[in-house]
Structure formats: structure tokens, C-alpha cells
A and B are shown apart, each in its own frame.
Chain A
Amino acid sequence: MKEIRISLPISTEEIRALHPNDKVLLSGIVYTARDEAHKRMLALLKHGEKLPFDIGKTALFYCGPSPAAEGRVCGAIGPTTSSRMDPYTREMLKAGLKVMIGKGERAVETQQDIKAAGGLYLLAIGGISAVLSQSIVSCETFLWPDLGAEAVYKMELRDFPCYVGIV
């Protein structure tokens, strides 16, 4: 099927040109964040502190990778269920978040919030980690290593396959 190549950071015009169900090959730097990382990021914002990366220019990837075997770029990579992050998403969008990658439906309010913010929710396929790992150029623990798989990892993607969920 037709594939659209996009690179982060992505412009408002590029987001507007996308449609639900479009297949996208995504490249650029993303940061992983699951439940615990969201809690900590929101705590930073609540205390008036800045996030240690420009959230508007990247994407949050709802993902907890498995550890890399010795000498490998990364372990198994894939999306976790996005709806668990719905309670935090409004605040993240207010902080400038535009692009999210995960799997599954979002709450109705979250769908509206994403659209209102001009955001983009991309669906990655769950359970195809060996395939997705081939699109990972680099992967390093970026923040909160004490969280293990739930830490924030900085990843560079090259032609990472996903589909437009909400735009």
C-alpha cells in the first residue's frame, strides 16, 4: 500500500495533509514514555520546570523496550496501550506535544484534545517487535534509568512503519 515518508520535527502543514489510516514511514528522534515517565514529566511541569527535551519537535512513543543483547542497537521495540496515557495527555498537549505513537483507541475527550491541538496520533502494530527493531538506528536511556523498561529512552527511527490514527 501507499507509504508516506515523514521526518521529525513535523510541521503543522505536514500534519494537516495526513488522513486517518494513511501508512507513514517515520524518521527522526523520539522519546519513549509510559505511565511512570508521564507522572514524572507532569510533576516537573507542575513545579514550573522545563522538560529536558523539546516536546514540540519530537514524538512521544508509548513504549517500554526490552533490553538490548550485547552488541545490538536495541532489544524488542513496540507500542504499548495508549489509553493508559489518556489521563496525562491533555497536560502534555498543553506543554506543546504534537505527535504520539502507540496502539489502540484513545478516550473520546483525548481524541478531541489531540484534534484541537493540531496533534497527530500514530498507530504502531503491537507484537511485531523484531520487525520494528529493524527501523531503530539508536536507542539510549535518556532519563530516569531507575524505571527500567519504563524509563525515557531516546531513539532515532528510520522509516518506522505506522498508521495515522487521529489527526
Chain B
Amino acid sequence: MRKIYSEQIQQAVYQAITEVSYHCDPKVTEALQQALEGESNELAQDVLSSILENHRTSPESMIPLCQDTGSTVVLAEIGAGVQILGQSLPEAINAAVRQAQHDCPLRASTVSEPLFERKNTGDNTPAIIHVEYVAGERIRLLIAQKGGGAENMSFMKMLSPAIGTDGIIDFVCEGILAAGSRPCPPLILGVGIGSNFEGAPLLAKKALFEPLGRAHPDAKYHQMERQITERINTLGCGVQGFRGNCTVLATHILHAPCHIASLPVAVNLQCHAHRHCEVII
């Protein structure tokens, strides 16, 4: 049994949050640079240049990439051979969230109750945490600072299996086109296919952590990813709604087994300020 102290987890999460709040995923920077080179629309070029400038300015000035510094989302894989000592995993993560909010400082963007009071918790807690148990003696944490704009435009539906590949592609594309510029394109799309009512959105979230633009190991799903990206870039609103040909940087699909009667499909949108990282302890 490997013993891991909760302080180690807290420290690692704290470092991850403070790092990603000022440093965009370098693969996103690269994809935006390529998009700029392939863009002929003057307005879209101007906006893409500003986004790239922001990637340089944020770490230099220590001003966060976006004023919506996000909610902390943690997808945790805990090895069966790991024993966590000290505080519980959520306590350690929330201590890190609180500390990062205070030290950076980040925007307090969480309300404790959604409808009547909507009182701000003041420190960004609680983080949203999903835990999975896996073999091995390590902890793997996928950490994101997720903004509200793109999350608000995300969607899911229990489709009928008869709808098939084309039906899924239509469903995804229509939803993204309807979202317009509100989720802050260029976007990264996480698409979850299969599982069940709560499982598909979690797959979609997890898909956002896939390395940007990676080739799906299954050629059929890879083809679907490409078709979705291409169709949206042909018909979409472009960078921040200013037209041009770059609404989506990449589409990532993850799939899972599901009930014989079901075809759950969920789409999680990620804005271009893609603040995420992987931590292994």
C-alpha cells in the first residue's frame, strides 16, 4: 500500500490552478497560430491576434487569461493501492481552491445555492470532483478551471439508437451553431456518446482533457470528429462571432457501453481559454 499525504494533493492542485490561470495550453496557442495563418477574414485575424497576444501578456503581467477564472473541476483516478492520509480528497482539493483564489487572486464565481439567495461562497469552493478507482499505486488528477460561458451552452440528449452517425453529427452541429458566439469560440468540443443520463456528460467533460487535435484511435469515431469540426467551421459564426472559418479548433469524442434502448449524447463546450492540466502523484 502506498501512502500519500493529503498535503501533497493540496500542494499539487494549488500549483495546477495557479499555473493554468495564466498559461494557456500550448497546443491551443499552436492551433490558434495555425488558424490565424489560414484565416482570410480581416476581423477574425484581428481577434485571433488579440487572443495570441493575451497568451503572451497573461503570464508576463500575472493577470489571469480571462476574468472568468472558472470553477475548479477535478476528475480524479485513485489507484487501488493508494491510501490517502490526513484530510479527505475533497477537503484537500477545496483547501487548494481556497488558497489559490486568495493568493492569485482569482474571481470568486461560485454561489452556495442556485436559486433563491445565490450567495457567493467567496472562495470558489466547492470544487466539482469526480472520483474513479483504478488499478495501481498512483493518483491521477485532471484539473480544469472551467468558465461559465462555454459551460452554459453545453447540452445533452437521450437520442434514439435509430438516429445513427448522421443524426448525432446533426445534433452536435445544430447545438453549436445555435450557441453562436456566446461560448467564446474558437471552441474545443468534448462529445460523450453512450453510458447513461449522467455518464454521457462526464465522458464529454473527460474528452476535453484529451490532447488537442489527437487522432481518435478508432477510425470511425475519428471520421465523425473531423466531420463535426469541418461542418461547424464551414457554417459557424467564426472567432467570437466575427465570421471567418475558425469556430472549432478540435472535436474529441469519447464513447462507452450503454443500454440496448439508449443512445445518450452529450456535448461539453470549452472556450479558447482552455485552462487544464494533468497531475500525477
Please name all residues of chain A whose beta carbon is closer than 8 Å to the beta carbon of B126 when the two chains form the complex: none
Q: Are B105 and A125 in contact (CB-based, < 8 A)?
A: no
Q: Are B122 and A148 in contact (CB-based, < 8 A)?
A: yes
Q: Are B54 and A127 in contact (CB-based, < 8 A)?
A: yes
Which one of A64, A83, A129, A148 contacts B64 once the chains associate, using CB atoms below 8 Å?
Answer: A129
Which B residues from 95 to 139 make CB contacts under 8 A with A? Answer: 104-109, 118, 120, 122
Q: Summarize B's interface: helix, strand, loop or mixed.
A: loop
Q: Are B241 and A149 in contact (CB-based, < 8 A)?
A: no
**A77 within 8 A of partner (CB):** yes
Rounded to whole Å, the gap between the CB of A81 and the closest CB of chain B is 5
Please name all residues of chain A whose beta carbon is closer than 8 Å to the beta carbon of B47 when the two chains form the complex: 125
**B242 within 8 A of partner (CB):** yes
Q: Which residue of B lies closest to A65 (CB)?
A: B67
Which A residues from 69 to 88 make CB contacts under 8 A with B? Answer: 69, 72, 75-78, 80-81, 83
Q: Are A128 and B107 in contact (CB-based, < 8 A)?
A: no
Rounded to whole Å, the gap between the CB of B20 and the closest CB of chain A is 13
Cα–Cα distance between A68 and B105 once the two chains are bound (Å): 7
Which one of A21, A65, A66, A131 contacts B242 once the chains associate, using CB atoms below 8 Å?
Answer: A21
**B31 within 8 A of partner (CB):** no
Please name all residues of chain A whose beta carbon is closer than 8 Å to the beta carbon of B272 when the two chains form the complex: 127
Please name all residues of chain A whose beta carbon is closer than 8 Å to the beta carbon of B53 when the two chains form the complex: 128, 131
Which A residues from 59 to 109 make CB contacts under 8 A with B? Answer: 63-69, 72, 75-78, 80-81, 83, 103-105
Q: Are A103 and B43 in contact (CB-based, < 8 A)?
A: no
Closest 8 pairs between A and B when the two form their complex, measured CB to CB: A66-B107, A130-B58, A76-B67, A127-B273, A128-B54, A104-B182, A130-B57, A126-B184
Cα–Cα distance between A36 and B109 once the two chains are bound (Å): 13
Q: Which residue of B lies closest to A165 (CB)?
A: B241
Please name all residues of chain B whose beta carbon is closer than 8 Å to the beta carbon of A66 when the two chains form the complex: 64, 67, 69, 105-107
**B66 within 8 A of partner (CB):** yes
Rounded to whole Å, the gap between the CB of B64 and the closest CB of chain A is 4
**A116 within 8 A of partner (CB):** no
Q: Are A63 and B108 in contact (CB-based, < 8 A)?
A: no
Please name all residues of chain A whose beta carbon is closer than 8 Å to the beta carbon of B120 when the two chains form the complex: 147-150
B interface with A by C-beta (< 8 Å): 42-43, 46-47, 50-51, 53-54, 57-58, 60-69, 104-109, 118, 120, 122, 147-149, 152, 180-182, 184, 240-242, 271-273
Interface size on A, residues (CB 8 A): 38
Q: Are B104 and A123 in contact (CB-based, < 8 A)?
A: no
Rounded to whole Å, the gap between the CB of A155 and the closest CB of chain B is 12
**A112 within 8 A of partner (CB):** no
Given A125-B240, A130-B65, is A148 in contact with B108 using a C-beta cutoff of 8 Å? Answer: yes
Please name all residues of chain B whose beta carbon is closer than 8 Å to the beta carbon of A150 when the two chains form the complex: 120
Which one of B57, B107, B184, B240 contacts A67 once the chains associate, using CB atoms below 8 Å?
Answer: B107
Given A21-B242, A103-B181, A104-B241, is A75 in contact with B273 using a C-beta cutoff of 8 Å? Answer: no
Q: Are A1 and B42 in contact (CB-based, < 8 A)?
A: yes
Please name all residues of chain A whose beta carbon is closer than 8 Å to the beta carbon of B148 when the two chains form the complex: 80
A-B residue pairs in contact (CB < 8 Å), sample of 10: A23-B46, A36-B118, A64-B67, A66-B105, A68-B105, A80-B148, A127-B54, A127-B272, A127-B273, A149-B108
**A28 within 8 A of partner (CB):** no
Cα–Cα distance between A105 and B51 once the two chains are bound (Å): 20
Q: A128-B54, A129-B65, A130-B57 are in contact. List 20 more A-B contacts (CB 8 A).
A: A64-B67, A64-B109, A66-B107, A69-B104, A75-B67, A80-B68, A104-B181, A123-B241, A126-B271, A127-B51, A129-B58, A129-B63, A130-B64, A131-B53, A147-B120, A148-B108, A148-B122, A149-B109, A150-B120, A163-B242
Q: Are B62 and A134 in contact (CB-based, < 8 A)?
A: no
Q: Are A149 and B107 in contact (CB-based, < 8 A)?
A: yes
Which one of A69, A77, A83, A123 contacts B67 once the chains associate, using CB atoms below 8 Å?
Answer: A77
Please name all residues of chain B whose beta carbon is closer than 8 Å to the beta carbon of A21 when the two chains form the complex: 43, 242
Q: Are A127 and B65 in contact (CB-based, < 8 A)?
A: yes
Cα–Cα distance between A81 and B148 once the two chains are bound (Å): 9
Q: Are B51 and A125 in contact (CB-based, < 8 A)?
A: yes
**A119 within 8 A of partner (CB):** no
